[in-house]
């Protein structure tokens, strides 16, 4: 079935918001409402599933042993090893064994398909029926989180299996063209021809980035031990979700594998039944973002160097969404999986001691249904719901992962956001029984703020706790098991939904009874209504007006409380800022005084050194001066002695001449020759 965007705007405007379905107090609406919600929704605990991965060959080669295992369908047991911090700090009476209860627990022998069937199928049915769903995993680094969500070619994970199942069920309700697109959180807009052409070009550009060979061989090197039979069986399981698949003619499998294929067919039939109950047709859109060092980036932006930081925003209903994130239209599971592959290539990944492909950011893959259907009052109307798959980065300790520099900074942001998530879930759990309910710190992290709606009753949330059995990371894994087991006790409250539905049903019922009683009165008897019936009608009208007044009052109170909370938050932030500024000034003054004292001390030290050096050099100069004076006296005495000797020699030379003949004597001649 195709849907023409011109049905809703003949003037050719570029974007037209489709109206949402609104209440109408008549019998038809009441009957439809009762059919859709036969019973008021009930609160339910958040589903938490534990999965323990097998020991790695590297861990076994280094001599480590396994100390964590799933002992039954709901329990994970942790045995404290002797080399753990927990054992060393346990004191005289250590506890050797810890047991943790979950919605379900899975060991290393459970495959990807069985895990998907037992954990995600309920969320997928809720998503198809119009609910918002969140599936996120939690655990330390290298505990199998990414493998659980994404898998590989031989063993596809939750995301590929969910896409095959979803498109296999909803295939007949897809529009022939890209006609509508989600906007903000739950709004929907109609696209014109120019915008549709732009969406097609953007999708083609991204799909061209996927090299066909490398896409088909994704992670094949990591699963070289898997045989061809397993790969073909995995492909058959994905094919079972297709609407035109017939296992009786297309498969010849062993009995065990045939049971799994029949389970896949049963899952497809359940999904198709839910799809058939949904009105209208739809377009499917996907987005892929990451939260890196508390900044949000679009993973479907092909040029990494030109990525812009995205921000969170709120719509008119207070729902949080990522402003500016790309949303790409997809028409089948292959396109959705390819776009997920494009996003994974842009993820921030680095090598640490614990994991040579460690994710350094939280990545979120979201699939939205933009559904259009006919409404008697408004004509074409729309509805948007989503399912988000969140692959959280693993918590880690710097001394074990041996990170430094930028890797250490990334680990700090990762651990901080996970700590805020833990605080939010813990405070939600405490508020369930506490009289004095405290504020949930959703705004302290972009991750928790983005998913706050799912924890407040506006959708389903499924948590997967991935655990490593290796004793080397026992202390970190124990914290993961302890926190996730407590999260199982969290009740996803939807009391405001049930209250609203009960009020609407009550109003509808009373209004319908009044209409029936009035319609039963003939035209001739319309003026003969007794006073009691008139009074009853007036009372019912007054009650309806009071309910409307109560609703308006609650709305005003909610707005006022929201305003007060914002003002309180601003005041607290301002006070904290002022206190920090005063503390900084005090710290600066103290450092200034310490610096001045150090300078004065250095001045004294160097002055003493200078005086000592001056005294030493003055003494040396005095000694040298005395030596010079003594040298001058000795030099003058030597000159005087030389002069006396010369005079004496000259005198003797004159006497040696003969006066008689005026000729020098022989001795005089010899003396002159010597001179």
Q: What DSSP string describes 141-170?
A: TTSSHHHHHHB-SSSB-HHHHHHHHHHHHH
- Taking the C-alpha atoms of residue 616 and residue 610, their distance in angstroms, rounded to an integer, is 10
Same domain, 180 and 122: yes
Instruction: Write out pLDDT tens, residues 116-156.
Output: 888 988 888 889 888 889 999 988 888 888 899 988 877 88
- Taking the C-alpha atoms of residue 218 and residue 163, their distance in angstroms, rounded to an integer, is 17
Return phi, psi of residue 615, to 5°.
Answer: -60, -40
Q: Considering only CA atoms, which of 649, 653, 648 is closest in space to residue 667?
A: 653
Mean pLDDT confidence for 260-288:
84
Which range has the worst mean pLDDT, 41-55, 168-182, 303-317, 512-526? 512-526
Quick check: helix, strand or coil at residue 551? helix
Same domain, 498 and 557: no
- Say if residue 111 carries a ligand binding annotation: no
Same domain, 459 and 567: no
Residue 559: pLDDT above 90?
no
Does a structural domain hold residue 130?
yes
* Structure letter (DSSP) for residue 310: B
Residue 219: pLDDT above 60?
no
Mean pLDDT confidence for 600-617:
90
Q: Which helix (H) or strand (E) holds 330?
A: strand 328-330
Quick check: helix, strand or coil at residue 327? coil
Quick check: helix, strand or coil at residue 381? strand
Domain boundary among 571, 593, 617: 617
Instruction: Assign 464 a pLDDT band (cuts: 50, 70, 90).
Output: very high
Report the predicted TM-score, pTM, of the whole model to 2 decimal places: 0.65
Provide CB contacts within 8 A for 105, sequence distance 6+.
49, 50, 51, 52, 70, 71, 72, 73, 74, 75, 76
Same domain, 420 and 556: no
- Say if residue 142 carries a ligand binding annotation: yes
Does a structural domain hold residue 509?
no
| DSSP, residue by residue, 230-256 | HHHHHHHHHHTTSTT--HHHH----HH
Same domain, 238 and 343: yes
* Structure letter (DSSP) for residue 351: -
The end-to-end CA distance of the chain, in Å, is 140
Token pair recorded at residue 85 = 């911090």
Instruction: Write out pLDDT tens, residues 60-89.
Output: 888 888 899 999 999 999 988 888 888 777
Domain boundary among 589, 617, 645: 617
CA dihedral over 243, 249, 255, 256, signed as positive or negative: negative
> Do 387 and 127 contact (CB within 8 A), yes or no?
yes
Among the residues of 322-404, which ranges form H helices?
A: 333-345, 398-401
- Say if residue 143 carries a ligand binding annotation: yes
CA angle 5, 9, 12 (to 5 degrees): 90
Instruction: Write out pLDDT tens, residues 307-362.
Output: 788 989 888 888 889 988 889 999 988 899 999 888 888 877 655 655 556 667 88
- Taking the C-alpha atoms of residue 641 and residue 294, their distance in angstroms, rounded to an integer, is 97
Does a structural domain hold residue 265?
yes
Distance from CA of residue 506 to its chain's centroid?
A: 42
Q: What percent of the chain has pLDDT over 70?
A: 72
Does a structural domain hold residue 607?
yes
Domain boundary among 617, 643, 667: 617
- Taking the C-alpha atoms of residue 444 and residue 440, their distance in angstroms, rounded to an integer, is 9
Does a structural domain hold residue 306?
yes
Same domain, 424 and 573: no
- Taking the C-alpha atoms of residue 105 and residue 121, their distance in angstroms, rounded to an integer, is 16
Token pair recorded at residue 243 = 């609407």
Token pair recorded at residue 75 = 């329990």
Does a structural domain hold residue 653?
no
Radius of gyration of the chain measured on its C-alpha atoms: 43
Average pLDDT in the chain: 76
Token pair recorded at residue 409 = 């900074």
- Say if residue 281 carries a ligand binding annotation: no
The number of beta carbons lying within 10 Å of the beta carbon of residue 85 is 13
**Domain span at residue 599?**
547-617
Same domain, 395 and 456: yes
Token pair recorded at residue 590 = 């103290």
Q: Considering only CA atoms, which of 133, 196, 185, 143 is closest in space to residue 6?
A: 196
Q: How many domains does the chain have?
A: 2
The number of beta carbons lying within 10 Å of the beta carbon of residue 474 is 24
Same domain, 494 and 562: no
Given this model, what pLDDT does residue 643 score?
85
- Say if residue 63 carries a ligand binding annotation: no
Tokens 């097609």 locate to 200
- Say if residue 139 carries a ligand binding annotation: yes
Same domain, 595 and 495: no
Residue 385: pLDDT above 60?
yes
Same domain, 250 and 389: yes
Residue 652: pLDDT above 70?
yes
Same domain, 489 and 608: no
Does a structural domain hold residue 636?
no
Does a structural domain hold residue 654?
no
Biggest CA pair distance of the chain: 198
Q: Considering only CA atoms, which of 195, 103, 116, 107 is closest in space to residue 155?
A: 116
- Taking the C-alpha atoms of residue 488 and residue 479, their distance in angstroms, rounded to an integer, is 15
Alpha carbon separation from 525 to 463, 511, 514, 520 (Å, rounded): 63, 21, 16, 10
- Say if residue 473 carries a ligand binding annotation: no
Token pair recorded at residue 614 = 């001056």
Quick check: helix, strand or coil at residue 404? coil
Among 255-269, 477-491, 556-570, which range has the highest average pLDDT? 477-491
Same domain, 300 and 432: yes
Q: Give the CATH number, domain containing residue 440.
A: 3.40.850.10
The angle that helices 406-431 and 474-487 make with each other, rounded to 10 degrees, is: 30
> Do 100 and 356 contact (CB within 8 A), yes or no?
no
* Structure letter (DSSP) for residue 67: -
């Amino acid at each position: 079935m195709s849907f023409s965007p011109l049905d809703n705007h003949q003037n050719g405007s570029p974007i037209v918001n489709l109206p949402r379905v609104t209440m109408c107090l008549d019998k038809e609406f009441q009957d439809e409402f009762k059919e859709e919600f036969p019973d008021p929704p009930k609160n339910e605990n958040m589903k938490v599933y534990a999965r323990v991965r097998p020991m790695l060959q590297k861990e076994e080669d280094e001599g480590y042993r396994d100390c964590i295992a799933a002992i039954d369908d709901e329990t994970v047991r942790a045995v404290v090893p002797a080399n753990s911090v927990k054992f060393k700090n346990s004191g005289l009476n250590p506890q050797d064994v810890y047991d943790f209860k979950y919605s379900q627990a899975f060991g290393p022998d459970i495959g990807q398909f069985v895990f998907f069937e037992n954990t995600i199928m309920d969320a997928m049915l809720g998503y198809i029926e119009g609910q918002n769903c969140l599936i996120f995993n939690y655990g330390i680094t290298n505990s199998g989180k990414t493998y659980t969500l994404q898998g590989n070619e031989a063993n596809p994970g939750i995301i590929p299996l969910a896409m095959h199942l979803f498109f296999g069920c909803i295939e007949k309700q897809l529009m022939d063209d890209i006609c509508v697109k989600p906007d903000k959180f739950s709004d929907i807009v109609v696209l014109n021809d120019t915008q549709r052409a732009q969406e097609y070009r953007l999708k083609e550009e991204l799909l061209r980035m996927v090299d066909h060979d490398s896409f088909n061989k994704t992670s094949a090197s990591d699963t070289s031990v898997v045989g061809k039979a397993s790969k073909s069986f995995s492909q058959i399981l994905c094919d079972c979700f297709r609407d035109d698949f017939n296992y009786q003619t297309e498969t010849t499998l062993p009995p065990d594998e045939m049971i799994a294929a029949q389970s896949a067919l049963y899952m497809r039939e359940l999904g198709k039944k839910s799809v058939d109950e949904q009105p209208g047709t739809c377009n499917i859109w996907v987005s892929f973002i990451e939260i890196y060092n508390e900044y949000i980036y679009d993973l479907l932006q092909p040029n990494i160097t030109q990525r812009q930081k995205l921000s969170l925003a709120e719509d008119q209903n207070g729902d949080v969404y990522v402003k500016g994130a790309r949303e790409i239209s997809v028409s089948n599971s292959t396109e959705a999986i390819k776009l997920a592959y494009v996003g994974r290539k842009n993820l921030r990944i680095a090598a640490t001691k614990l994991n040579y492909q460690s994710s350094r950011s939280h990545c979120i893959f979201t699939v939205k249904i933009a559904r259009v259907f006919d409404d008697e009052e408004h004509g074409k109307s729309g509805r948007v719901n989503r399912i988000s798959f969140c692959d959280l980065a693993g918590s880690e300790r710097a001394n074990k992962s041996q990170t430094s520099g930028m890797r250490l900074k990334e680990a700090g942001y990762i651990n901080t956001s996970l700590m805020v998530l833990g605080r939010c879930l813990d405070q939600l759990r405490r508020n369930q029984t506490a009289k004095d309910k405290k504020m949930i710190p959703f705004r302290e992290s972009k991750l928790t703020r983005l998913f706050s709606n799912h924890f407040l009753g506006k959708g389903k949330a499924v948590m997967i706790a991935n655990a490593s059995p290796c004793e080397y990371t026992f202390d970190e894994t124990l914290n993961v098991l302890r926190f996730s087991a407590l999260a199982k006790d969290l009740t996803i409250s939807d009391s405001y939904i049930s209250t609203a539905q009960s009020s609407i049903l009550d109003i509808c019922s009373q209004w319908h009874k009044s209409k029936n009683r009035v319609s039963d009165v003939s035209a001739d008897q319309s003026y003969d209504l007794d006073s009691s019936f008139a009074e009853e009608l007036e009372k019912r009208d007054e009650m309806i007006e009071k309910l409307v007044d109560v609703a308006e009052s609650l709305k005003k109170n909610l707005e006022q409380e929201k305003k007060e909370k914002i003002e309180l938050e601003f005041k607290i932030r301002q006070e904290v800022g002022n206190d920090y500024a005063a503390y900084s000034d005090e710290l600066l003054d103290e450092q200034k005084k310490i610096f001045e004292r150090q300078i004065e001390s250095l001045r004294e030290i160097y002055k003493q050194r200078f005086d000592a050096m001056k005294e030493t050099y003055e003494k040396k100069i005095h000694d040298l001066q005395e030596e010079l004076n003594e040298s001058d006296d000795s030099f003058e005495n030597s000159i005087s002695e030389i002069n006396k000797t010369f005079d004496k020699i000259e005198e003797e030379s004159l006497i040696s001449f003969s006066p008689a003949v005026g000729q020098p004597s022989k001795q005089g001649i010899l003396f002159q020759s010597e001179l």
